[in-house]
Amino acid sequence: MEKLLISLINFYQAYLSFDKGLLVFLAPGGACKYEVSCSQYTKESIEAYGALKGIFMGMKRIWSCK
């Protein structure tokens, strides 16, 4: 499960992200207010704590973005 989620996050980061992906031209300077992007934080959380807790931690971080 963790490998699938990390693969999906890698795909998002490479192709859909406004910070590093193909859509970077839509948000010059990046779109994320955090130094480590929410997708990278979620990926690291999944690796450290497993799928359920990692997703929960990532969603909390995304929800805190204003």
Average pLDDT over the chain reads: 87
Q: What percent of the chain has pLDDT over 70?
A: 89
Domain range for 27: 2-64
- What value does the mean pLDDT take over residues 32-60? 92
| Range among 28-32, 37-41, 55-59 rated most confident | 55-59
Q: For position 51, what pLDDT does the model report?
A: 96
pLDDT tens digits along 21-38: 777 767 666 667 788 888
Quickly list H helices, 1-66. Answer: 2-11, 38-49, 51-64
Q: Residue 65 and residue 55: Cα distance in Å, rounded?
A: 16
As for how many domains the chain has, the answer is 1
